[in-house]
Structure 1
């Protein structure tokens, strides 16, 4: 009897030892994510974090291998509050934690200063949403993005305002952030490039934390614009729409992906109108890929209990692209998989992802939306 107990004990000890040994062979891969999780844009930052988290959870469920080891992925989330100084502090924290890669940041104004820190450390960074062209024009081989840039987005909106909306007099507002100013400048270029009859009748400025726009909107009203373009985020765009309605400004309202969220209708209330708003998302899928994106949205809603706000699919794909490069390299070490990331060709839920020599997405799509019955409605997908 005692002999049997001893054998059982030895067997259990052996099994535990083997189990511990197996777990010791697991490769822990740390992926950082940074976005505003506090402040006015927290709902959008949480959206990108949840997209990255869903990718991490699905990867772990598959027990995938990198090299000869089973990879166990960890998401290290940081809050940059949409503030450049907080962003660089968050970036340094992730570098100190020896992350294998970073998804983020969300805003251009935080992504650009943080990118210098990641580049110095040799850590690959993929932004799911930063659109300012300067991000990928710094000569950093560690900087990538999975969405189109402001040159494409703002320019397309500018041309749409003139060619489709037949705008002649256009007022422009931006929030003076790297994103807001950048997309507004590109919009103006697109609107005035070949249309000599178009006038920018007002160029006004606000901040990303402002709530009262009565002064600048009163000045704009006196110019009787056909279109008001806003470069900024939905947390400011919604109140601008409300105050435009209060002042009786009937102009179309246009903006980039910063306002083009499912939340804009709630933030604007009945000022959202029917077809009054035209905005563009720096991404989107063409007809053949819609089923995959919808399947992602379903999984996302089931997991988190709410719909995608805006950039979650791009954060999800950014994680998947990074891991695909690690698998191809057989290593999660940044220096080893970075060359594979630069030449990746990945079929994601947002379409095919490949990068040019600067780290910009090749053939990035744009989706133009309007709002009807309080819901976003696709106008067209274009390149």
Structure 2
């Protein structure tokens, strides 16, 4: 997923020379060596406030279930889970400076063994280097931006190497990157018979990158792209932009917190638009809720991609997760991000177990990046040398009666 990212240089400046001292010395010898004692800490850093708050709560709840299922222990180690908020009250948005503080907090804690985050890809641009210097394994439950792990289409110059100052990888994610999601959105448009598409993005790291991936995939399929427009998330509406749309299909690659509902409403208002699509930044319960999201007349046009498949198709582990989640939180259909939170924590715990005793951060990094044939609630996958999952299936969702409803599996290939 993407992020509300302002000037990245300001975020980096907030983690300047003073922080370098903290990153190098706060963790002592634990960065590469063994962690003494029998207590380990796993931090998460996610936006608990604002429009992304419900997704964060679902991720945190999912992580807690994974930890509860192992009794809060791996071998001799008791695992303490500490969720941190990377958003600020004034806007409710994820904030680079706040996330940098969270990362430094984890660095300064000698018991830190893993860091779950971020939710926003642009925020991970700030925290990956801080954690990388300290050798702390980082697992994201939501990041899809290509440039965090590879220089494939959709990335920017210098990515991803500039995020890894040690020249060693410490970051992984449990969701497929946007070369896959872009192809999935294009495949959905192709299946619906789209002839021309207008794309709006929110100018964030995630959204602009996904928009580039979607555009390339559409053109590969012979579908015309009339426009790829960056919108102002703070604008009251986008009616003047919508008046220019002549396409029969409209795709929004932005986030719900980037005024996504208004963008979808205004994009759908163009008389030529027959089909409406969104990426995983808006495939959320709030989007489907007519009181908070899309009214019924627009919702009927909407389809969106997210790497969560039909709950009925999950294996026994997946079914147990949904049963445990309902029992713990009285929700029969949790937000799609809940299962990502679960798997992020489950992967971390599995890596700690495989690292053996005595445990060290480097051993856990090595275990995460050598994950092969993991049978998980998301399906069987590897983590490759870049930190990417080998999962490629995306779910296509539609809205019926104010609820997100699974439509079909999209088996997309990266552009």
2:200 matched to 1:178? no
- CA drift of 1:318 comes to 1.1
2:193 matched residue in structure 1: 166
Distance 1:55 1:192, change over 3 A: same
2:371 matched to 1:341? no
- CA drift of 1:336 comes to 2.2
- Unmatched tracts of structure 1, length 5 or more: 1-24
- Partners of 1:335 and 1:378 lie apart in 2 by 39
1:256 matched residue in structure 2: 279
Secondary structure of the residue aligned to 2:404 is strand
The answer on whether the counterparts of 1:265 and 1:272 sit within 8 Å (CA) in structure 2 is no
2:62 matched to 1:51? yes
- Partners of 1:166 and 1:245 lie apart in 2 by 17
Segment of structure 1 superposing worse, 246-255 or 119-128: 246-255
List, as ranges, runs of 4+ consecutive aligned residues in structure 1 with deviation greater than 6 Å. none
> Could you report, residue by residue, the CA deviation over 1:69-107 in whole angstroms, capped at 9, with x for unpaired residues?
242333342324423333222212221234211111011
> Could you report, residue by residue, the CA deviation over 1:35-59 in whole angstroms, capped at 9, with x for unpaired residues?
1112222222222122222222333
The answer on whether the counterparts of 1:233 and 1:258 sit within 8 Å (CA) in structure 2 is yes
Which residue, 80, 83, 88 being the options, matches 2:100?
A: 88
2:261 matched residue in structure 1: 238
The answer on whether the counterparts of 1:208 and 1:233 sit within 8 Å (CA) in structure 2 is no
- Partners of 1:187 and 1:148 lie apart in 2 by 14
- Partners of 2:175 and 2:310 lie apart in 1 by 11
- Partners of 2:347 and 2:402 lie apart in 1 by 34
Secondary structure of the residue aligned to 1:254 is strand
1:276 matched residue in structure 2: 301
Which residue, 27, 41, 54 being the options, matches 2:38?
A: 27
The answer on whether the counterparts of 2:280 and 2:304 sit within 8 Å (CA) in structure 1 is yes
> Could you report, residue by residue, the CA deviation over 1:279-308 in whole angstroms, capped at 9, with x for unpaired residues?
110343697535543432232233234442
Question: Larger C-alpha radius of gyration, 1 or 2?
Answer: 1
Distance 1:322 1:209, change over 3 A: farther
Which residue, 356, 360, 364 being the options, matches 2:388?
A: 360
1:109-188 aligned at under 5 Å gives the runs 109-137=122-150, 138-139=160-161, 140-162=168-190, 164-188=191-215
Secondary structure of the residue aligned to 2:383 is coil
State the number of aligned residues.
349
Distance 1:301 1:136, change over 3 A: same
The answer on whether the counterparts of 1:29 and 1:72 sit within 8 Å (CA) in structure 2 is yes
Segment of structure 1 superposing worse, 94-103 or 125-134: 94-103
Name whichever structure is richer in helix by fraction: 1
- Partners of 1:269 and 1:126 lie apart in 2 by 32
- Partners of 2:86 and 2:172 lie apart in 1 by 20
Structure with the bigger RCO (C-alpha within 8 Å, sep 6+) is: 2
Segment of structure 1 superposing worse, 283-292 or 124-133: 283-292
2:6 matched residue in structure 1: none
2:79 matched to 1:72? yes
- Partners of 1:118 and 1:279 lie apart in 2 by 33
2:230 matched to 1:205? yes
- CA drift of 1:135 comes to 1.0
Segment of structure 1 superposing worse, 97-106 or 341-350: 341-350
- CA drift of 1:185 comes to 0.9
2:153 matched residue in structure 1: none
Secondary structure of the residue aligned to 2:282 is coil
Q: Normalising to structure 2: TM-score of the pair?
A: 0.77
